[in-house]
Amino acid sequence: MRTTSHEAVISIKTPVAPPYWALLERQLIRVQSEAIEEYYDHYFDSRGYLLCVPRWGGDDGPDDAAENLLNWTMLYALGGPENVLERYHRGWEGHLRQYTEAKTVEVPLAREGMYYKEFPVCFDWFHHGEGLSAFFLEGLANPFDQKFQQRTRRFAGFYMGEDPQAPNYDPEHRLIRSMFNGSRGPLLRKATALDWAGDPIEVEGRFQPLHRERSYAEMLEHFEEYTDVVGDNPLNLAATTLGFNAYALTGEARYRDWLLGYVDAWIERMAANDGIIPTNIGLDGTIGGAAGGRWYGGVYGWGFTVHVPGSNELAHRNYLGPRILHGFANALLLTGNLGYVNPWREMIERVNAHAKVVDGQTMYPHMHGDQGWYEYRPRKFAPAALELYYWTMDRDVLALLPEKPRWIAYLDGEDATYPVEALQADLSAVGKRVDEMRRDPTTPDTRLSDDPNHLNPATTETLTQLMLGGLPTGRVGYPLHCRLRYFDPARRRPGIPEDVAALVEKLSADEVVVTLVNTSPLAAREVIVQGGAYAEHEIVDVQQGEETTPVGHSHFRVQLAPGAGSRLRIRTKRYANQPTFAFPWS
């Protein structure tokens, strides 16, 4: 294939014995892909419908059903074969039809269908994000798919005032009007346990809910205190991924403007609340305005301590972490401005400043209610500290973690065994999941949609770290953040080419070191290396041995001789380009 005029070309000719990590990497991609076929045949029918009892709710609902496709689009984008993307498409289309047809009887929200316009009718972004995780990454796999393009625009429009049936967003106050929102608009009343738990269902002897409820009565009890949903909630920041994807797809400024305007509003709210993110914003834009003036109010808020069904125990559920911080990171992807994530670091410091000494041990608060700061623990309050470090590359952030993650220790040159051991562990995990799936005694009428989630064989976390130098995308609905991404120019598709393996060995603010290996002793391979998942990083130059090649673009091309491999030192300017789903040859 001819290169374009701006492409730098690196030739790797040095023969190397295939490293063990490279062989494991290729094996892990292959084994997962084979396991997905068996998993699909076991749990889906010919229409792509999940073989389960479809339900609505936070215990088991449409989002849990969609999670059975988790990581499939990511695996394809890494280099998995075509069957992975084909199974995803079949399962995703079937899922949308299945949950459009599925209706509640007693829950008012979904009596006309759990999905409307191919999107959840009205629920929270804790669950929306989980259900959309695979779809959010579909643009990395096939952004040219017409249905993906239509859905990306439609879904973003639900939060930009483009659909009169979905008045979720108030542009005057720059807020999403309820924690419950979706394709039929916001819920502007208190939520009920029924809204959360779904229709009555037989439990004992038939199902085993993952929240361990023993009866439908306990399912209702679980959600009795989940009432304060009116007004904006920081979990709604996950909706910005809709705007991000629409902008990466189209380049249209209106998506970028909406995303930045909404995130800016939250930055301003933090500043007005002594640097602490409030967990309720009233419909008039006031902090705590829909929670009796309490900035710490609302479901999943700072003061959200609830009773555990069937016991006298309390559970502290202020879900502050990656689900929220990734909303700010979406703005970082668009602007390169660390000012969008630095306030999170400042908030962590402000919370930990309220530490106290108990019996000679420093204890840190993790909750705030009418009584002030509470729920003191020996561990520092530091939600999403690893993500914060990844974006800022501020070494001081690592001190917030109880211990350095092995991946970071490896990148720091302190844990050379991590790649092989992590890949071996993932291979073992795939085998155990397939074995458990084969022994699964449930039938479609005794199976909840989330029952197979833990058996999904797509295991991409380690591959994302080692191949891309990236943050695992997880299951809560956000884009891929990585330093490098690969494309196969011979097959005109995303992902690392057949036989090629990559290992990111070092990361700094302006440099990434990667080893590329062609494990085939017979065939030459060619790979395009891109800066970032969305071409957001500019590649300055590439050093191989003593030779430095200028690049000055978001990607370069590498030609690998049979059995060849080499370490490349790549200098970059992070977040120098506007993100795009476009492939290098587009």
Do 196 and 103 belong to one domain?
A: yes
Structure tokens belonging to residue 392: 């800022």
Do 239 and 131 belong to one domain?
A: yes
What is 77-99 written as a DSSP string? HHT--HHHHHHHHHHHHHHHHHH
pLDDT at residue 1 above 60? no
Cα–Cα distance measured from residue 242 to residue 222, given in angstroms and rounded to the nearest whole number = 30
Residue 470 domain flag: no
Do 198 and 287 belong to one domain?
A: yes
Cα–Cα distance measured from residue 335 to residue 326, given in angstroms and rounded to the nearest whole number = 14
pLDDT at residue 382 above 60? yes
Residue 90 domain flag: yes
Residue 537 domain flag: yes
Give per-residue pLDDT as tens, 294-304.
999 999 999 99
Find where tokens 């879904």 sit: 155
Cα separation values, 196 from 105, 114, 180, Å: 14, 13, 10
Do 393 and 538 belong to one domain?
A: no
Cα–Cα distance measured from residue 430 to residue 373, given in angstroms and rounded to the nearest whole number = 43
pLDDT at residue 101 above 50? yes
Range of lowest pLDDT (29-38, 71-80, 199-208): 199-208
* CATH code for the domain of 509: 2.60.40.1180
Helices (H) and strands (E) in the chain, counts: 17, 19
Q: What is the 3-state secondary structure (H, E, C) of 182-251?
A: CCCCCCCCCCCHHHHHCCCCCCCCCCCCCCCCCCHHHHHHHCCCCCCCECECHHHHHHHHHHHHHHHHHC
Q: Looking at this protein, which amino acid is placed at residue 12? A: I
**Are 505 and 567 spatial neighbours (Cβ–Cβ below 8 Å)?**
yes
Structure tokens belonging to residue 67: 């999670």
- For residue 439, what are the domain limits? 19-141+149-464
Give per-residue pLDDT as tens, 307-358.
998 787 999 999 999 999 999 999 999 999 999 999 999 999 999 999 999 9
**Are 68 and 456 spatial neighbours (Cβ–Cβ below 8 Å)?**
yes
Please say which residue of 419, 437, 464 terminates a domain: 464
Nearest to 120 by CA among 176, 77, 70, 57: 57
Q: So what's the pLDDT on residue 577? A: 98
Do 375 and 438 belong to one domain?
A: yes
Do 192 and 231 belong to one domain?
A: yes
Residues in the chain: 586
Residue 136 domain flag: yes
Q: So what's the pLDDT on residue 2? A: 35
Q: So what's the pLDDT on residue 3? A: 45
Residue 476 domain flag: no
Do 117 and 25 belong to one domain?
A: yes
Do 453 and 509 belong to one domain?
A: no
The percentage of residues in the chain with a pLDDT greater than 70, rounded to a whole number, is 99
**Are 583 and 552 spatial neighbours (Cβ–Cβ below 8 Å)?**
no
Please say which residue of 464, 495, 523 terminates a domain: 464
pLDDT at residue 393 above 60? yes
| pTM given for the model | 0.97
Q: On the CB side of 467, how many CA atoms lie within 13 Å of its CA? A: 32
Cα–Cα distance measured from residue 351 to residue 404, given in angstroms and rounded to the nearest whole number = 21
Residue 339 domain flag: yes
Please say which residue of 411, 432, 464 terminates a domain: 464
Residue 176 host element (H or E): strand 175-176
Cα–Cα distance measured from residue 234 to residue 126, given in angstroms and rounded to the nearest whole number = 10
Q: What's the whole-number average pLDDT of the chain?
A: 96
pLDDT at residue 5 above 60? no
Do 444 and 490 belong to one domain?
A: no
Do 295 and 355 belong to one domain?
A: yes
Q: So what's the pLDDT on residue 135? A: 98
Nearest to 281 by CA among 237, 326, 230, 324: 230
Q: So what's the pLDDT on residue 213? A: 83
Q: Helix 82-101 to helix 20-43 angle, to the nearest 10 degrees?
A: 30
The percentage of residues in the chain with a pLDDT greater than 90, rounded to a whole number, is 95
Q: How many domains does the chain have?
A: 2
Q: So what's the pLDDT on residue 469? A: 98
Q: On the CB side of 328, how many CA atoms lie within 13 Å of its CA? A: 26
Strands 511-518, 500-508: pairing kind: antiparallel
Residue 204 domain flag: yes
Cα–Cα distance measured from residue 560 to residue 522, given in angstroms and rounded to the nearest whole number = 11
Q: Give the 3-state secondary structure of residue 290.
A: coil
Across 421-439, average pLDDT: 98
Give per-residue pLDDT as tens, 116-166.
999 999 999 999 999 999 999 999 999 999 999 999 999 999 999 999 999
Do 371 and 457 belong to one domain?
A: yes
Do 288 and 417 belong to one domain?
A: yes
Nearest to 206 by CA among 42, 444, 32: 444
Nearest to 18 by CA among 529, 544, 516: 516
Residue 478 domain flag: no
Cα–Cα distance measured from residue 289 to residue 268, given in angstroms and rounded to the nearest whole number = 16
